[in-house]
Structure 1
Amino acid sequence: MTKNYLLEIGLEEMPAHVVTNSVNQLAQKTAKFLKENRISFSNIEKYSTPRRLAIIIKDIAEKQTDIDVKAKGPSKKIAQDADGNWTKAAQGFARGQGMTPDDIFFEDLKGTEYAYIQKHEDGKKVEDVLTDITEVIKSLTFPTRMHWASYDFEYIRPIHWLVSLLNNEEVPLQILDIKSGRMTRGHRFLGEDVEIDEATNYVEKLRSQFVIVDAKERKDLISNQIETIANDKDWVIDVDPDLLEEVNNLVEFPTTFYGSFDKKYLEIPEEVLITSMKDNQRYFYVRNHEGKLEPYFIGVRNGNSEHIENVIQGNEKVLVARLEDADFFYKEDQKKSIADYVNKLKTVNFHVKIGTMYEKMARVHQIAEHLAKLFGLSDTETTDVLRASDIYKFDLVTSMVDEFPELQGVMGEKYASLMGEDDAVAAAVKEHYMPISAEGDLPASKVGATLAIADKIDSLVTFYAVDLIPSGSNDPYALRRQAYGIVRILDKYQWSLNLNDLQDYLKANLTVPEKLDLSAHVKDINQFMVDRVRQLLGTTEVRNDIVDAVTAGSTIDPIMMIDTAKVLQAHVLDDDFKSVVEALGRVVNLSKKAKFGYSDDLKLDESLFENPSESTLNDQVKTIISADETDAEALYGELASLKPAIDSYFDENMIMAKDEKIKNNRLTQLVIANHLIAKLGDLSKIVVK
């Protein structure tokens, strides 16, 4: 016979963003707890509101499954003395298993006999096991925690009640001074405390007290109510899934309503209106069928429809106050020039250890000018990116961005256009922040993309210069996201950027205070960027061993690494791929025997050649080197063509010859060849079968 078990954790209102994750954790950790305790069940139903996390374990077994255990003890020579009597070790072993020495038997294990006891363990009743589920409750993790009263215990919010029912029987639990029972709490304003008589009546009992505990049911109800309003009014509503999730976790009994505001506020940029409604007030904004914003909004009340007119008026009043502020800021900001705002940036710190935002823009101007040449931007595009680099942070000191920080860049574009800047410059002011998340949108223009890379490179090298380096999960300045953004932008535009050459340029040319040591972490920055290339390749179909190979090569150019990985992946099914990689890999491995590395002045003495294969390989390698091929596909083809020469070379020549000069000359030849092969990567890391 199976039963159903209800567990409810009653809390003060939780932040909306933790509710779903927390109930998912509760279900997952409970499932693990039951499995570890040999309790079978069919499934776990999840319920949540801002004030509760709950689960119902369906068809939970009445007891643990019985098990037979064979416990291993000491060796026979320790378990018995010379006369065959049980030693204290054997007696302690038996006692620890709840048995007597008479239950001991011996079995051979790798040539040694050991004492064993076979015992049968009856499973505990499920209610006895469930008393330990408090450990699951305590184990939940949260982004922030708090403690209350005089307790050291911390949780997302104070726990106020617990419900623990196995069918209709209470299973006693206690956390701090909170003892479980069958009483739960209804809606804070509309409902009352209610007794749960049986676990499976939980949902309906709370529904009677104006609490819909099924999150999906609440969400569907909100969506349907929004759809009804939209159909009645002939509106188009963008039901953002993240906003819907947040609103859903703010209410226990949702009632959707709509309000309005004066049309005059539509003169404010719609991004400001949407931010005021969506981000600040958690309203859904309204458009007409032509896509234009309408002076209405849809909100969700935590309650029923009684006195909804008062709720609407209150929400309209709050929104209008925000829109009045926004309208004032919008008009006031336009009374100053961009030059006024740029000048104010001289007093705004980018970081106290690095300098001001004005100084950062000056550095970014230098970097952007260099990148514009590398990326082949036109004269017009170069002019635009340099102008954008001179002003692109100006909106940070506007009143609008001070009130709505999430609009940085957005308002910069709006104000730049209003103040006469070219469209490309204005767009770049917004696009330089992109991507704003790991997989966010990338800049749509070359001007914006160049400025975005320049800005991110400056952040990367200056934070490293003052030893503010990401470690573990600690990355307060989002340098991983910014570096990954650089790689993604380079990949989108197929722009080559040699990281070694770039850092050499920055060290030699970038104007920075003496306290910023741009030479301190060159290798660290290179590796940091290579790790971001690995991250990008991890989203593709490229094999892990190929990723390992290309990111371990001599090329420190993200695009070359990405393209090479894709080329190698495209050739893995070629009939000769295995033989080509093995031949090139043999060069790589044997070159490691040299006690010297590659340098530009490394010379090969052709007079020491003893076999034609040495000359053949040398001539072909020199031809490829002189071509200086940067296309990954072409380079792979040229290196693959070396296979016959490499095979002949190893057939005819003993690399580790007794003659030291000949040995070193052959190792020199392999080191030079390996330097060429390393442009593809460390091919010895590729697994071929």
Structure 2
Amino acid sequence: MNNWVLLELGVEELPASEMDSIKEQLQVLVPNLFSEARISFGSCEVFITNRRIAVRLQNVSDRQEDVVLEKRGPSERVAFSDGQPTKALLGFLSSNGATLEDVFVKDGYVHIKKLVEGKNVCEVVPETLVKVITNLKFARPMRWANGDFEFVRPVKWVLALLNDEVIPLRIFDKNSDRYTMSHPYLEKWIAMRHPKDYVQVLEENLVIVDETARRQFIVEQLTEIERAYGLVCEKDPLLIEKICKIAEWPQAIVGKFDENYLKLPQELITVTVKHHLSAFSTSRAGSLTCHFVAFIDRPRDDFSIIVRGYESVVNARLEDARYYFEIDRRKRLEEFNENLKRMVFQKELGSLYDKVVRTQQLVQYMVEKLSKESMKDKAMRAAFLSKADIATHVVYEFPELQGVIGRIYALLDGEDESVALALEDQYSQEPESELGALIGACDRIDTIVGNIAVGNLPSGSKDPYGLRTKADTIYWSVVRYGWDVDLVELLLTAKKLLNIDFDVDKLFEFMSSRFYAFLLSQRFSFDIARAVNHLWSRPLRGYLAAQALTKACQSEDFNNVAIGFERVHNITKNHSDRHFDGALFEEDAEIELLNQFVSVKPKVIESVLKLNYEEAIRHLSSLKPYIDRYFDEVFVMVDREDIRQNRLGFLKNIDELFMLVGDLTQLIRRD
């Protein structure tokens, strides 16, 4: 059982965008395919760098597990004639290496049980490893050798070991052996003696193959530079992750740009340094400095020429930024709105200026519906300026600064600070200000409705316009800022502004599905999410109902209430008429339930309007004993048509009252 297995594929430069997916796939494929091959193992490690993909297994079993297979043969009638085996049965036994003693009859057919002894692991592992590799999927695979092979990138070598022996396999026209490649700086082949030496041997040859160790190596160097230079490095986790993916031996270098550029807005400098050098900005005593920290993929050496090259690049980019910034500041931010009229938002959806006008109208609608009159002037101003910075020279050259430049220019123009902050905050998936959330929500509503109107509905993994994320952010903002808004009315208002005729059911289905996904992202259980999903058009109510149901489900009494509701719901699910006449009630039980319903209904509705769903559930729970007695003593589906319809109409009213809180039939009983 103390066996080790190692597989490494050397590849041409891996795109960072594929690396997480490959790692996640391998962590699933290896256990699944080895289990399918009946090979057990203790641990599985996945290693991935920009030049290699590797899997290492420890405590791999010596042999496959034995398995008893049951196989069905011909029918009993065909297998025997006058109690004797027929040619059909004898042929079945011969082809499966079985005898008459192995035969038994089940469900009218001959069956045999056959013990299949496990093979030695060295016979099974090659095929299993090939299956692992060929089952990997990529966003953008490459083909090479006249299109004969397809993988994320062309494969340069294959290392495969079972303990100290080479696992013989052939893939991508490469035969496996025990050799791997060092870091390109050393450029030499290395013989791997045993899988357990893999990490150490590579590190000795300037490859930190373990992702966690590479990440720690980067952070340690940043910390050391902070100590040596008296600086504070902006340790952006995303940038650290990026460097971890593009370097096998990340080595820090420190450079400087011209101090004169420190007069530029800080964000313009930090973004330039980050996006054009993949480098970290630094500060001292809270102020930005001209030092930056970049990483290169090679061991420590005389880096003076490399540093000068980095400095030359960043100074050139900062000079561009200064030039475009000065040109932009010749005009006020609002003046750039005129340029939006000549900039296409999307071909079928007009210009960016058209989008701004629609966003303003949606903001006005929201302000009125939410009774936010106190913020109306600021909201309308922020909506008017919301896309102005897209027309600036700086954002054209540095598109990642969209929103940031809007805030900076608005503040320089003397705009209200909350308006300026909203111009940046609108793009956040978790807006920090209600004003930013409001502008962002209306902008996203317009984008979602517009794209679905012209047929750009997300499907599968394809969502080129990010509509799913936009919908999720809308729901987050609704909950975060307590907006009790009717989403259907808002969507229809956006549709009217677009003046495009399309099937709104697709729009509603999309928003409903995203509400369900949003609830799951908020850690509600799937049955709670299903129970309130029909409330997607009032998302704040749906969210609060989910909270209240989650709490109520811990009570055994409420589980009994859910059972009572299920009886009401099931008998009325195909009945749509809510009309009933209390004068037609005959039984005491239905009269009592009617009286209790009349008493409870306004209380439930009032609680819902106050957004107090725990109170609404308490009121609904008071109907439980009356519902139980009703179904014990009243037969709903009587022959007399008018009585039956009357009773169904009455129960439909009770069903719809419960549905204000949730569809309790979706709930799983909790012990």
Please identify, of 149-158 and 132-141, the stretch whose mean Cα deviation from structure 2 is larger.
Answer: 132-141
Q: Secondary structure at the match of 2:217?
A: helix
Q: Are the aligned partners of 1:27 and 1:55 in contact in 2 as well (CA < 8 Å)?
A: no
> 1:36 matched to which residue of 2?
36
> 2:488 matched to which residue of 1?
500
Structure 1: distance between partners of 2:95 and 2:319: 76
The structure 2 residue matched to 1:166, chosen from 162, 165, 181, is 162
Structure 1: distance between partners of 2:556 and 2:5: 60
The structure 1 residue matched to 2:341, chosen from 324, 346, 351, is 346
The structure 1 residue matched to 2:577, chosen from 597, 611, 618, is 597
> 1:429 matched to which residue of 2?
423
Aligned partner of 1:486: which letter? Answer: I
Does 1:385 find its partner at 2:379? yes
Structure 1 residues 620, 84: closer, same or farther in 2, change over 3 A? closer
Aligned partner of 1:548: which letter? Answer: R
Aligned partner of 1:286: which letter? Answer: T
Structure 2: distance between partners of 1:45 and 1:623: 64
The structure 2 residue matched to 1:637, chosen from 605, 618, 631, is 618
The structure 2 residue matched to 1:177, chosen from 157, 173, 177, is 173
> 1:360 matched to which residue of 2?
355
> 1:684 matched to which residue of 2?
665
> 1:299 matched to which residue of 2?
294
> 1:438 matched to which residue of 2?
none
Structure 1: distance between partners of 2:525 and 2:209: 45
> 2:148 matched to which residue of 1?
152
Does 1:94 find its partner at 2:93? yes
The CA deviation at 1:585 is: 3.8
The CA deviation at 1:115 is: 4.1
Structure 2: distance between partners of 1:461 and 1:238: 39
Aligned partner of 1:123: which letter? Answer: K
Matched-pair identity in % = 32
The structure 2 residue matched to 1:455, chosen from 428, 436, 443, is 443
The structure 2 residue matched to 1:661, chosen from 633, 642, 649, is 642
> 2:275 matched to which residue of 1?
279
Q: Are the aligned partners of 1:583 and 1:643 in contact in 2 as well (CA < 8 Å)?
A: yes
Does 1:124 find its partner at 2:120? yes
The CA deviation at 1:35 is: 2.9
> 1:608 matched to which residue of 2?
584
Q: Are the aligned partners of 1:161 and 1:180 in contact in 2 as well (CA < 8 Å)?
A: yes
Name structure 1 gaps, 5 residues minimum. Answer: 436-441
> 1:488 matched to which residue of 2?
476
Structure 2: distance between partners of 1:609 and 1:119: 70
The CA deviation at 1:371 is: 0.4
Q: Secondary structure at the match of 1:347?
A: coil
Q: Are the aligned partners of 1:127 and 1:166 in contact in 2 as well (CA < 8 Å)?
A: no
Please identify, of 241-250 and 604-613, the stretch whose mean Cα deviation from structure 2 is larger.
Answer: 604-613
Show CA shifts across 1:199-248 (max 9, x none): 44444544444333333333332222221111111222232333222212
Does 1:107 find its partner at 2:104? yes
Structure holding more helix per residue: 2
Q: Are the aligned partners of 2:47 and 2:54 in contact in 1 as well (CA < 8 Å)?
A: yes
Structure 1 residues 425, 497: closer, same or farther in 2, change over 3 A? same
The CA deviation at 1:466 is: 2.2
Does 1:412 find its partner at 2:427? no
Structure 1 residues 332, 157: closer, same or farther in 2, change over 3 A? same
Structure 1: distance between partners of 2:201 and 2:638: 89
Structure 2: distance between partners of 1:122 and 1:448: 64
Structure 1: distance between partners of 2:391 and 2:241: 33
Q: Are the aligned partners of 2:277 and 2:314 in contact in 1 as well (CA < 8 Å)?
A: yes
The CA deviation at 1:385 is: 0.6
Show CA shifts across 1:333-369 (max 9, x none): 1112334311111121221112111111111111110
RMSD of equivalent CA atoms:
2.9
Structure 1 residues 113, 106: closer, same or farther in 2, change over 3 A? farther
Structure 1: distance between partners of 2:552 and 2:83: 73
Aligned partner of 2:372: which letter? Answer: L
The structure 1 residue matched to 2:433, chosen from 445, 465, 482, is 445
TM-score by length of 1: 0.88
Show CA shifts across 1:391-417 (max 9, x none): 211111111111222211111111111
Q: Are the aligned partners of 1:499 and 1:526 in contact in 2 as well (CA < 8 Å)?
A: no
Does 1:552 find its partner at 2:549? no
Q: Secondary structure at the match of 2:246?
A: coil
For 1:56-71, what aligned pairs fall within 5 Å after superposition?
A: 56-67=56-67, 69=69, 71=71
Name structure 2 gaps, 5 residues minimum. Answer: none
The structure 1 residue matched to 2:651, chosen from 638, 658, 670, is 670
Q: Secondary structure at the match of 1:350?
A: strand
Runs of 4+ with >6 A deviation = none
The structure 2 residue matched to 1:249, chosen from 245, 253, 261, is 245
